[in-house]
Amino acid sequence: MDKIKAAVCHAFGEPLVIEEISIRPPEAGEVEVEIHAVAICQSDISFAEGGFGGPLPAVYGHEAAGIVSRVGPEVHGIAPGDRVVVTLIRACGHCPSCQTARPVTCETPYDGLDQGPLTTGDGAPVYQGLQTGAFAERVVVLASQVAKIPDTVPMDSAALLACGVITGIGAVVNVANIRPGQTVVVIGAGGVGLNAIQGARIAGAARIIAVDMTEEKLAMARDFGATHGVLASEEKPWSAMKKLNGGRGADAVFVTVGAAPVYDAAPRYLAPGGNVIMVGLPHATAKASYSPLGMGNAAQGILGTMMGNTVIARDIPWMVDLYEQKRLKLDELISNRFPLDQINEAIASTKSGSAKRNVIVLK
């Protein structure tokens, strides 16, 4: 067992504690990665606040990039020294979901407490949050969770490919299958929402209408490809959206904020035949409601998505290509950079809503 520094959650809703814990070497099919950068995602915050449950103590963090330091037996195509993105997409490769190119819903159980690589100094298990535990100097993950990246992508920008970018763009490309000429609404112009906007632009959507609470956020959305903006504080923002679209609703509405009341209103933005795409996830106890009759008669639907239904070996390379062609913004998504010992400040900044993405830089 080796010693590493990590930001550990001991109590939901309390600050994370930087301390020394132990990490075991990689076993069969696993790789160890020295983390260079890890972004703060709203999911990490929701877990640390107890919104999704789970055991404690825990190390969260799942949007990371680094250098492979060791590989276990039965690992092929990945070697020490490789630059990689580290994701939470742990795929066994042989269950029904994996066999049908849906690794994000891998059906092989994994217990991040009993099977995870982390322990305290006295040998008690530490939960590997989101199957990654990347708020730490090193991680041990399944080889399926990493994707190699070239030297052209800086580590802090590469980390964003692990979650926020693939989730937003994947929701547009892999889930909604947006086609040129369609109209898209993105509710929430945060880190994931901006990437949904980028995805809609890349897919050729004719109108990309951002909905958020401030003019500042709407201006930011336009920088990433939104053609129009609507303030969510309007009495009926869906009516304002339809006015911008010639009286018609949207072909797809992407809800990228984790607020149940937003899901209540989302179908109001839809055109006949349109779909609400569930991207942002409220806490487990939150509920939303809708009219089955109204949506059924209009042939509308609600589609779930996990990590943009991404296949990282397929999707990350083409996103890197777009970045190299300057057609995909990554560097511009980073608002602030913090050292690991300032992770609580980075989380507070993220919760304030003012940041696109805050990144913890370890190397």
pLDDT for residue 121: 85
Q: Which residues are 17's β-sheet partners?
A: 8
List phi, psi (to 5°) of 58: -145, 150
Closest CA to 270 of 306, 297, 233: 297
Closest CA to 143 of 207, 95, 194, 92: 92
Q: Is 358:336 a contact under the CB 8 Å cutoff?
A: yes
- The enclosing H or E element of 223 equals helix 215-223
pLDDT for residue 87: 98
Alpha-carbon distance 215 to 212, whole Å?
A: 8
pLDDT for residue 355: 84
Look at the block and give the residue holding tokens 């990945």: 78
What's the first-to-final CA gap in the chain, in angstroms?
A: 22
For residue 122, the 8-state DSSP code is: T
Decide: helix, strand or coil at residue 2.
strand
Max distance between CA atoms of the chain, in angstroms, equals 65
pLDDT for residue 268: 97
Look at the block and give the residue holding tokens 């730490």: 136
pLDDT for residue 166: 98
Q: DSSP for 198-214? A: HHHHHHT-SEEEEEES-
* pLDDT tens for the 363 residues of the chain, in order: 899 999 999 999 999 999 999 999 999 999 999 999 999 999 999 999 999 999 999 999 999 999 999 999 999 999 999 999 999 999 999 999 999 999 999 999 999 999 999 999 889 999 999 999 999 999 999 999 999 999 999 999 999 999 999 999 999 999 999 999 999 999 999 999 999 999 999 999 999 999 999 999 999 999 999 999 999 999 999 999 999 999 999 999 999 999 999 999 999 999 999 999 999 988 888 999 988 999 999 999 999 999 999 999 999 999 999 999 999 999 999 999 999 999 999 999 999 887 899 999 998
Beta-strand ranges (E) seen in 2-95 are 2-8, 17-23, 30-39, 58-59, 63-71, 83-86
pTM of the model: 0.95
Peptide bond into 57 cis (omega under 30): yes
Structure tokens at 48: 């640390």
pLDDT for residue 1: 86
* Contacts of residue 99, Cβ cutoff 8 Å, sequence gap at least 6: none
pLDDT for residue 204: 98
Closest CA to 134 of 195, 43, 50, 49: 43
Q: How far is CA 58 from the centre of its chain?
A: 19
Q: Are strands 30-39 and 357-361 parallel, antiparallel or unpaired?
A: antiparallel
In order of their start, the domains of the chain are 2-161+330-361 (3.90.180.10), 168-305 (3.40.50.720)
Inter-residue long-range contacts of 328-333, CB under 8 Å, 24+ positions, other chains counted: 328/165, 328/198, 328/202, 329/198, 329/224, 330/153, 330/157, 330/158, 330/160, 330/161, 330/165, 331/154, 331/157, 332/223, 332/224, 332/356, 333/157, 333/160, 333/164, 333/165, 333/191, 333/194, 333/195, 333/357
Polymer length in residues for the chain:
363
